Amino acid sequence: MTAAVATDGKGARAALLANANFRWLLGGSLVSILGDQFTLVALPWLVLQLSGDTLALGLVLAIMSVPRAIFILVGGAVVDRHSPTRVLVVVKLAQCVLLLALALTLHFGVLQMWMVDGFALGLGLATAFSYPAGSAMLPRCLPPPLLRPANSLLMSLSQLVALLGPVLAGAVIVFFRQAGLALSFGLDGLSFAISAATVLQVSLTPLPQAAARSASIRRDIGEAARAFWADVPLRTVCLYFAAIAFFVGGPISVALPVLAKVQLPGGAAALGWLLTANGLGVLAGMLLSGLRPGWRWGSLGRTMLAIDALAGLTFLPFGHITATWQGMAMLAPLGLLLGFVRVAVFSWMQKRVPPAMLGRTMSLFLFIIMGLAPLASAAAGAALRVLSLGMLFQLSGAMLLAIVAAGALLTRLRDVSDA
């Protein structure tokens, strides 16, 4: 089967499932993501049981996220200097040990809050290395024409697991009660061990030794930063997404729970339905992006701008909805469009960046987004003290439309192409 045929519809899926590298990656990723859902549900529950303090919960989450954002650039450099496979296996085994230790200390009743903080720090540092390693593996084990359908299938199935996993994790905790927390952490640890074994089965295209190493980690990061800045289309796309993350992503993440609490019947249940509708839309969009990779409006850049303009128009009246179904009707199609473009942009970046710099470049992109997320959320929380909920949604929609206009008129974003 030729690459040209393999990238279209059923041919792409057949080619991917016939590829041993992809099967190992897919299986390991799904097992690991399913395991992560148990920790995502169990960890907040554990902290609240041990401390009964929401501040302690916020501290644990910050201990996980801040080191990840800080050290992810180092993680990308380490991945490029050594091997995505080697780094990912070591990191997954470290996460396995941490989670099994957490499960055992909880099971034997010796776990204390300072120990939970330590486990959270270790897990956060590990993800700073696993994220760039995982991003760098796929382009080195598949032919370029199969990257987009591969990302589509990986992301969509991961999205499906992320939607269903918390339900299973919650059922385990409820059914086994106190033992369910320890069991949840143990299952996640086991999932990392299985995932590490699958990663070892993946064969990567070798890189020249000189291309993968330089004098120091700091120089590696500087080299990637200079290459990133010199690549005008790549720089434009990343800065465009950074602006959206700060001016739109942060406010929406804060305002949506507030909206469900103060305006929608059902409160937390309404928020769950809104997030589910958006998540299912994203899932459908990711699948569609792989099945119809040629669908776009002129170019990839124009498609991004058009979708974000629709999103901006959607957010303008969103703060005035009074029924859950109204929010679901708006968020589901929006999620579909965003899922479609997310796969397209991620695949474009993987193809554009030289393999020897892929770990550093992807970590740089993630560093920008992760670094802005807490700042954006804090700014949105402060804004809600002086603005009404409807005004915050309107401001977010207006800012998104302004970012789209600036991208279309002041940059060459509209000409970015993945053809």
- Does 405 score more than 90 pLDDT? yes
State the residue range of the domain holding 38.
17-213
Residues 171 and 147 in one domain: yes
- Does 5 score more than 60 pLDDT? no
Mean of the pLDDT values across residues 295-324?
A: 86
Mean of the pLDDT values across residues 400-419?
A: 87
In a domain, 327, yes or no: yes
Residue 100's CATH number: 1.20.1250.20
Instruction: Quote the pLDDT of residue 419.
Output: 66
The pTM (predicted TM-score) of the whole model is 0.77
Closest CA to 285 of 136, 160, 404, 139: 160
Position 101 confidence tier, pLDDT thresholds 50, 70, 90: very high
- Does 1 score more than 60 pLDDT? no
Residues 75 and 172 in one domain: yes
In a domain, 395, yes or no: yes
Mean of the pLDDT values across residues 300-313?
A: 89
152-198 confidence digits (pLDDT tens): 888 888 888 888 887 788 888 878 877 888 999 999 999 999 999 99
Last residue of a domain, one of 178, 213, 248: 213
- Does 369 score more than 50 pLDDT? yes
Instruction: Quote the pLDDT of residue 194.
Output: 94
What is the total residue count of the chain?
419
Classify the phi-psi angles of 142: left when phi > 0, otherwise alpha if psi is within -120 to 50, otherwise beta: beta
38-53 confidence digits (pLDDT tens): 888 888 888 888 887 7
Classify the phi-psi angles of 298: left when phi > 0, otherwise alpha if psi is within -120 to 50, otherwise beta: left
Q: Compute the distance between CA of residue 361 and CA of residue 83 in angstroms, rounded to an integer.
A: 15
